[in-house]
Chains A and B, each alone.
Chain A
Amino acid sequence: MKTGIEEESAMEDKREERDYGGAKYGMWFFLLTEILFFGGMFLLYSVFRYRFPDQFHAGASEENLVLGSINTVLLLTSSLFMAAAITAVKRGNNKLSVILQALTVVSGVIFLIIKGTELSISDFIT
């Protein structure tokens, strides 16, 4: 793994300077496609929520409040870890950044475990 990274950076050095502006273009374009992706989902969701408001309320009342709240907290905290990890890299503290990124991954995994528990309780997967 390490040799791979070294090779890559050697390869990168041979070429022209890296184009951070271009990387930003790419990232914004990617975010645009994500908006359209999830936009489609929210469009569907809102159409049916508008058509069947009572059923949606009934469905929501069956949710597990505790697990849902924990997951919301986890989701936001993992984003915070990631943002902090980037700041740590900017300040040159790579070790702290690695720890923070690891925390992000760990909270992501816990999130998925809780989500799986929620779904199995509610017989979501038939």
Chain B
Amino acid sequence: MEDGNMDLQSSFYHDGGGRRGILGWLLSFFSVGVMMGLLIRLNLLSPGRFMGAQRYNELFTIHGIIMIFLFIIPGLPVAFGNFFLPIMIGARDVAFPRLNRLSWWIYLTGATIVAFAIFLHGTPPDTGWTFYAPYSIRVKANIALAVLGVFVLGFSSILTGLNFVTTIHRMRAPGMTWFKMPLFAWTLYATGWVQMLATPVLAITLVFIILGRIAGIGFFDPTKGGDPILYEHLFWTYSHPAVYIMILPAMGVISEIIPVFARKRIYGYHAVVFSALGIAIVGYFVWGHHMFVSGMSNTARVIFSFITFLVAIPTGVKIFNWLGTLYKGSIVADSPMLYALSFLFLFSIGGLTGLIQGALAPNLQLHGTYWIVGHFHYVMFGGGGFAIFAGLHYWFPKMFGKMYSERLAKLGWFLLFIGFNVLYFPMFILGYEGMPRRYFDYPPRFHTGNVISTVGSWILAVGLIIMFGNLIRSLFRGEKAPSDPWGGRTLEWTVPSPPPSENFGEIPVIGDGE
């Protein structure tokens, strides 16, 4: 047992099996989250017919917790970063392989605790994924467990960030200077810093939710002189940077894919690097825009709104550079590129609607409505999610050594893209017209929009089934993948598919050419 266990662990990352297993886990959690999302939409098709109000509240809460903490935040760094960061910078492994393993087990522990919070006797959490006080302190649901799970997941995230930052500082191959690093590595670097600097603040805030429940510490409880607004501040101090934990690696993936499929070098490499760092830094100071209507001085609101607009600048730089890369490129519309291009489209809508609600006057109208739900799904799913799918199709042949059916991949993408827009675009209109989010029911005038949106969710689900079905099928029936199916220029395409244990026979030396 002891020996067998040890063997399993020491080969956990080296043979690639563990690294691929992680991807399977994350996508499984994603599938669970999707099913809950479908149920949420099903209720809104005909409120009350399929579930009660309490069940609805539990569903959107758990949907949020799973999608954010179990899927998007760890998605790109843990599933793809672990695999490709070392290869891309010419290293055999990350700086702390055992710490990496530990952070994975911590992640699974956190996921298990969250599962307990859902299934253990008592009520599943129904506070929304934000756990706003004082409701989260008073309500009789399994909040303490759910919060503990998120707390544990946070430490997994911190350790991953720490590991990646150290890896990039210490493990680059000879000649791999900072400004020769692939852009995915750069965005993981920026993300690693955000993970280290923001997550601990969330962790301690969650501790005080737990202590508020079991020990009666009233820091966030107004009946004991506490301050719920303070909770919102501390929560968003983490959770806004967390948006950049989700989106920065996504931008990195897109920056890898677009040059390869446009057959050009990335336009303005340095600008893309510095805009990533800029987003990471400025993103730290915008959290107040989540709280414009919570009670805040006008001065603070103006400042937070202004800094929010500043984030648009480095983001715009990136979009401009991607378009510049596409300009006069020889564009090959293979499935990874289709996902990358839809990222550009969807993320731009998500980003620009973010500016509308980041302005003070429209925010009064839009706060707490379906507009917000539409916006963050365009950013997190249309941005983060589509980038994960882009990376999945781009790197799948490398990770598994098998090619998938391009025809089915395109069909899946098409349905996913159409379904996505039919599902989420009506939310902007519904929200603008005043339909509040998180409500179980709505007045009849919102019915049409909700029907369209729910039909969209079914189209999207079919697209997802085709996409996953295609990939799973190719594991068994796919042709063997060559080492470089797309014509990529980064180091991962120089090693066989799948990469051998410890990635390289000889550590590569990077010359001046590329």
Contacts and interface: CB of A to CB of B under 8 A. Distances in A.
B46 interface: no
Interface string A70-109: 0000000000000000000000000000000000000000
A40 B95 contact: no
A46 to B, nearest CB: 12
A37 B201 CA distance: 5
B201 A44 contact: no
A15 B230 contact: no
Contacts of A125: 214-215
Contacts of A39: 200-201
Query: Chain A at the B interface: mostly helix, strand, loop or mixed?
Result: helix
Given A22-B170, A30-B162, A36-B201, A15 B92 contact: yes
Interface in A3-31: 3-4, 7-8, 11, 15, 19, 21-22, 25-26, 29-30
B95 A22 contact: yes
A41 B202 CA distance: 11
A29 B208 contact: no
Contact of B6 (A3, A26, A30, A48): A3
Contacts of A26: 95-96, 99, 162-163, 166
Given A29-B165, A52-B225, A40 B200 contact: yes
Interface residues of B, number: 36
Contacts of A51: 225
B204 interface: yes
B225 A11 contact: no
Contacts of B203: 37, 40
Contacts of B3: 3-4
B10 A7 contact: yes
A123 to B, nearest CB: 10
A63 interface: no
A24 B84 CA distance: 24
B61 interface: no
Interface in A30-73: 30, 32-34, 36-41, 44, 47-48, 51-52, 55
Q: Identify the interface centre among A8, A15, A37: most chain B CB within 10 Å of its CB.
A: A37
A37 B169 contact: no
B470 to A, nearest CB: 38
A38 B204 CA distance: 7
A22 B207 CA distance: 31
A77 to B, nearest CB: 27
B2 A3 contact: yes
Given A22-B95, A22-B171, A40-B205, A124 B215 contact: yes
Contacts of A22: 95-96, 166, 169-171
Contacts of B234: 40, 44
Nearest to B238: A40
20 contacts: A3-B3, A3-B6, A4-B6, A11-B10, A22-B169, A25-B95, A25-B166, A25-B169, A26-B95, A26-B99, A26-B166, A34-B200, A36-B197, A39-B200, A41-B207, A44-B230, A47-B230, A48-B226, A51-B225, A126-B214
Interface of A: 1, 3-4, 7-8, 11, 15, 19, 21-22, 25-26, 29-30, 32-34, 36-41, 44, 47-48, 51-52, 55, 124-126
